[in-house]
């Protein structure tokens, strides 16, 4: 194995997605100190661009140090106090993880379930809120990467807020690929990741919290159990908020911030609407090609960013993926959780969602499956 020069793979799995050379070059800029005014200006600009991409005015919007799971933990540890009752919608691996993380925060989790590949109706969520009136938070996954299901969210805030609960959304595989309007959709806490539809290397988790969430954090009577992810301290550094100016908490991942800033610049240059339209179009192109080959989608409401298809009868799951990687330098994803051995997951995210990649993976699959 060559460990000195990593190959240039075509990353069409569930993440990481291909990273543009612009972003890689940005990462190679000189490392600044985390309190250098120049770096703080770069961070401020990055947070402002994140607000634009999240479509929010929330002052508390910043990149958490760590991958998407760190964002999930950050939302959970800051909003939940031991004994709180929450509802988590579980229709795949990531809903299951949200339940686990929230239980670790001491929450009593009422999990509601949908079959893998299915989505939740608002009626189902409303019924759960009626059944558990003390619920203070509803957690749901916008883009369930383990099944490829696309959960509608617009209007859900009316139901959740009528019960005085917070709406918490996992947008790891939708931010930068699907329509997502944090303020219009009344989302109170949201987290994403850099290495999916933003096409940046893994390492940061953009998050945003509404005024409602902030009020909830300010009303806590117990300390946040995680020191690293405690927003009462983090916000002093990232936003200068909470009084006392900007103070050191942990060393920000400086060069990762350069990468994210550049990746967000690329998103905003393309324009959010154009970007969403491109992801839709590439999904349709892939879908037409796969279905013409006799392959079928597992979810009824498929994401545009992640295509989850059943493995055809007689095909060797690992063998096909190995040939894609060895002969074509193409990575696709295996099935995850209950889908293991039953599904392939083809990601068309960010910089990877192109005509060239769609046609290449279709041609390679056609050749291998013949």
Ligand X SMILES: *Cc1c(COP(=O)(O)O)cnc(C)c1O
Among the listed residues 27, 141, 204, 361, the single contact to ligand X using CB under 6 A: 141
Shortest CB 71 distance to ligand X, Å: 8
Residues in 196-255 at the binding interface with ligand X, rule: CB under 6 A: 202
Shortest CB 110 distance to ligand X, Å: 20
Residues in 2-31 at the binding interface with ligand X, rule: CB under 6 A: 15
Q: Please work out the total of residues on this chain that contact ligand X, with binding judged by CB under 6 A.
A: 13
Q: How far apart are CA 156 and CA 29, in angstroms?
A: 43
Of 220, 228, 210, 234, the closest CA to residue 106 belongs to 220
347 belongs to the binding site for ligand X (CB under 6 A): no
Shortest CB 249 distance to ligand X, Å: 21
Residue by residue, DSSP assigns 22-74 as HHHHHHTSPPPPTT-HHHHHHHHHHHHHHHHHHT---SEEEEEES-HHHHHHH
Write down the H helix ranges in 140-184: 156-162
Peptide bond into 16 cis (omega under 30): yes
Among the listed residues 73, 84, 170, 331, the single contact to ligand X using CB under 6 A: 170
- Go through 306-317 and write b for each residue having 16 or more CB atoms within 10 A of its CB, e for each that does not: bbbbebeeeeee
Residues in 30-89 at the binding interface with ligand X, rule: CB under 6 A: 67-69
Shortest CB 346 distance to ligand X, Å: 14
β pairing state of 143-144 and 10-11: unpaired
Among the listed residues 145, 147, 307, 353, the single contact to ligand X using CB under 6 A: 145
Closer of 61 and 151 to ligand X (Cβ): 151
335 belongs to the binding site for ligand X (CB under 6 A): no
280 belongs to the binding site for ligand X (CB under 6 A): no
Shortest CB 292 distance to ligand X, Å: 28
Residues in 183-202 at the binding interface with ligand X, rule: CB under 6 A: 193, 202
94 belongs to the binding site for ligand X (CB under 6 A): yes
> Facing residues of 344 across strands?
309, 334
Q: How far apart are CA 158 and CA 103, in angstroms?
A: 26
Hey, what are 364's tokens?
């390679």
Closer of 78 and 147 to ligand X (Cβ): 147
Shortest CB 241 distance to ligand X, Å: 26
Among the listed residues 172, 180, 190, 295, the single contact to ligand X using CB under 6 A: 172
Shortest CB 4 distance to ligand X, Å: 26
Of 191, 145, 148, 149, the closest CA to residue 168 belongs to 191
Hey, what are 287's tokens?
């879908």
Shortest CB 336 distance to ligand X, Å: 9
Closer of 202 and 242 to ligand X (Cβ): 202
Shortest CB 334 distance to ligand X, Å: 14
Q: How far is CA 313 from the centre of its chain?
A: 32
Closer of 15 and 177 to ligand X (Cβ): 15
Write down the H helix ranges in the chain: 21-27, 37-54, 68-79, 93-104, 122-131, 156-162, 211-218, 231-238, 254-270, 272-292, 317-328, 355-369
Name the segment binding ligand X (CB under 6 A); options: 80-88, 120-128, 150-158, 169-177: 169-177
Site residues for ligand X per CB under 6 A: 15, 67-69, 94, 141, 143, 145, 170, 172-173, 193, 202
């Amino acid at each position: 194995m060559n460990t000195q020069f990593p190959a240039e793979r075509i990353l069409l799995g569930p993440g990481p997605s291909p990273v543009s050379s612009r972003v890689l070059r940005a990462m190679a800029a000189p490392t600044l100190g985390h309190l250098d005014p120049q770096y703080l200006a770069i961070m401020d600009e990055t947070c402002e661009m994140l607000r634009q991409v999240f479509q929010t005015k929330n002052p508390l919007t910043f990149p958490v140090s760590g991958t998407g799971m760190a964002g999930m933990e950050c939302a959970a540890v800051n909003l939940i106090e031991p004994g709180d009752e929450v509802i988590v919608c579980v229709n795949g691996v990531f809903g299951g993880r949200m339940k686990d993380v929230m239980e670790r925060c001491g929450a009593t989790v009422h999990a509601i379930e949908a079959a893998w590949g299915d989505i939740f109706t608002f009626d189902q969520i409303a019924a759960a809120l009626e059944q558990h009136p003390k619920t203070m938070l509803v957690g749901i996954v916008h883009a369930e990467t383990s099944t490829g299901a696309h959960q509608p969210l617009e209007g859900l805030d009316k139901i959740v807020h009528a019960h005085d609960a917070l709406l918490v959304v996992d947008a790891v595989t939708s931010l930068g690929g699907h329509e997502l309007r944090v303020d219009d959709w009344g989302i109170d806490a949201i987290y994403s990741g850099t290495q999916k539809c933003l096409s940046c290397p893994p390492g940061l988790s953009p998050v945003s919290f509404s005024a409602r969430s902030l009020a909830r954090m300010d009303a806590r009577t117990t300390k946040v159990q995680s020191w690293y992810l405690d927003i009462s301290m983090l916000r002093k550094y990232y936003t200068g908020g909470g009084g006392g100016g900007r103070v050191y908490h942990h060393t920000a991942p400086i060069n990762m911030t350069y990468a994210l800033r550049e990746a967000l610049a690329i998103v905003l240059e393309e324009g959010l609407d154009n970007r969403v339209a491109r992801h839709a179009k590439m999904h349709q192109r892939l879908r037409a090609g796969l279905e013409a080959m006799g392959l079928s989608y597992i979810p009824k409401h498929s994401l545009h960013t992640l295509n989850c298809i059943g493995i055809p009868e007689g095909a060797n799951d690992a063998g096909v993926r190995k040939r894609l990687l060895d002969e074509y330098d193409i990575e696709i994803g295996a099935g995850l959780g209950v889908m293991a051995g039953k599904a392939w997951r083809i990601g068309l995210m960010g910089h990877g969602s192109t005509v060239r990649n769609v046609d290449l993976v279709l041609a390679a699959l056609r050749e291998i499956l013949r």
